[in-house]
Amino acid sequence: MSRGENSRRLFDRARQLLPGGVNSPVRAFGAVGGQPFFTDRGEGSRIRDVDGREFIDYVLSFGPLILGHAHPQVIRAAGSALERGIHFGTSTVLEIELAEKVTALVPSVEMVRCVNSGTEATMSAVRLARAVTRRDLILKFEGCYHGHADAFLAKAGSGLATFGLPASPGVPERITELTVTVDFNDRDAAKEAFAKHGERIAAVIVEPVVGNSGLILPRPGFLECLREETRAHGALLIFDEVMTGFRVALGGAQTRYSVRPDITTLGKVIGGGLPVGAYGAPREIMSRVAPEGDVYQAGTLSGNPVAMAAGLAQLEILERDDPFADLEERGRRLVDGILAAAERHGVPATGAVVGSMWGVFFREGPVTNFREAEGADRELFGRFHRECLEGGVFLPPSQFEACFLSTAHSDADIELTLEVADAALAKVAAHG
Ligand SMILES: *Cc1c(COP(=O)(O)O)cnc(C)c1O
């Protein structure tokens, strides 16, 4: 069997039936070139494809699998829920247990509503913020991803702090006009937006650590500034912690950076790899959600017991082991190692680590916003990605995705990854 033959055949079949052969765009490897592979199974830090090749996995389902693949306790919890029935359309005790865990771990959250994806969580959080403030504008940051709802598929118009333009066909301008977009880490731009539109802004929504432009950390004072501006103008602050929740620290970025948002959105880790999202806030705000309040939001499969059980098992292990310092130390070794290799081979690079998130950009640093991230060498990243894959290391198939670590990644995995990355950079550099 030649390399990747089964995956190649499956991808040909998939392309006849699914747009681009996938159910979510980045899986098609369009940003890096090369052949997307089909996974047969995963265990711990590794996944195996349908051609029997094994990869050390730093994608981890794009975030959820912080304990690695097929963690026995998570599998057992989901399995035991599954055996009692898949879904009911009534409440189960697991929903209370997950809510108790989330409110105990995430400081700003007193009540929580579970949904089925991060997109649903952010969409619902914005509806709630608009209802609470009786205002219509939202302020977001270029390069922050909050799911694919119309309001978030907005890009900045020309000039600072102007109304947004659609970032996709099918999104009406009349919707994106309600989204003001400015640069991440730019306090002055955020202040200008408030000076201009302050009494119309319902909420600022932000990834407190950006994971969807590659990994970009907040500058000291930036999140605090958003907290002050929102408070001063009667707007709400939404931390979109779909990626950072239970990933950069047990209590998310809000504990790591000691800034309390009004509304928090969660996803990914909270579901243990099953489709779960959630939004939460202090009681006063969440009481507005139906049926306690008047803000409508619902879901046939919301609070699904199998998903609740898997998420809860994952959160319980994280709470018991608090592995974040250890994960960050490993991430640091990875990033330092890759940057050192890049320097040896004359490839410009910069990188960052926070908790179990890490990332490298192929350009001179620092990278503090999306425009700077866009200046990274994407073609070089594509070649690096393909070489790493060939060497048995699976990185996110885009320069604009954060890399993840799990508790299943061993010292040996890190060492092997650094060897593969070094060889990949040598080749990429030699290629010119
Ligand atoms: C992944 C992600 C989303 C969207 O979540 P889905 O489950 O893919 O809908 C929203 N916000 C952030 C910060 C994310 O990383």
Q: What is the DSSP string of 202-257?
A: EEEEE-SSB-SSS-BPPPTTHHHHHHHHHHHHT-EEEEE-TTTBTTTBTT-HHHHT
Q: Whose CA is nearest to atom 11 of ligand 1?
A: 146
Say how many CA atoms lie within 13 Å of 186 toward its Cβ: 22
Which CATH superfamily, name and number, covers 5-62+323-430? Aspartate Aminotransferase, domain 1 (3.90.1150.10)
Q: Is the pLDDT score of 283 beyond 80?
A: yes
- Is 207 close to ligand 1, i.e. is its CB under 6 Å away? yes
186 catalytic, yes or no?
no
58 catalytic, yes or no?
no
| 119 Cα nearest atom in ligand 1 | 9
Q: Is the pLDDT score of 7 beyond 70?
A: yes
Asked if domains 5-62+323-430 and 72-321 share a fold, the reply is no
pLDDT tens track for 45-98: 999 999 999 999 999 999 999 999 999 999 999 999 999 999 999 999 999 999
Q: Give the pLDDT mean for 300-306.
A: 98
pLDDT number for residue 161: 67
Q: What CATH number does domain 72-321 carry, 3.20.20.370, 3.60.15.10, 3.40.640.10, 3.40.50.970? A: 3.40.640.10
Angle at 416 between CA 412 and CA 420, to 5 degrees: 170
- Is 117 close to ligand 1, i.e. is its CB under 6 Å away? yes
Q: Give the pLDDT mean for 298-312.
A: 98
Q: What percent of the chain has pLDDT over 90?
A: 95
Residue ranges of domains in the chain: 5-62+323-430, 72-321
Q: Is the pLDDT score of 394 beyond 80?
A: yes
pLDDT number for residue 359: 98
Q: Is the pLDDT score of 1 beyond 50?
A: no
Q: Give the pLDDT mean for 8-24.
A: 97
140 catalytic, yes or no?
no
- Is 407 close to ligand 1, i.e. is its CB under 6 Å away? no
Alpha carbon of 347 to ligand 1 centroid (Å): 31
Q: What are phi and psi of 109, to 5 degrees?
A: -105, 120
Alpha carbon of 148 to ligand 1 centroid (Å): 8
Give the 3-state DSSP-derived string for 157-170, with helices as H, strands as E and coil as C. Answer: CCCCCCECEECCCC
Q: Which of 49, 150, 240, 262 is catalytic?
A: 240
Q: Give the pLDDT mean for 203-219.
A: 97
Distance in angstroms (rounded) separating the CA atoms of residues 365 and 249: 25
Q: Whose CA is nearest to atom 10 of ligand 1?
A: 146
- Pocket of ligand 1, candidates 145, 238, 254, 264: which has the most ligand atoms within 8 Å of its Cβ, to mutate? 145
Average confidence score pLDDT of the chain? 96
pLDDT number for residue 138: 98
Q: The pTM is what?
A: 0.98
- Is 145 close to ligand 1, i.e. is its CB under 6 Å away? yes
Q: Is the pLDDT score of 147 beyond 50?
A: yes
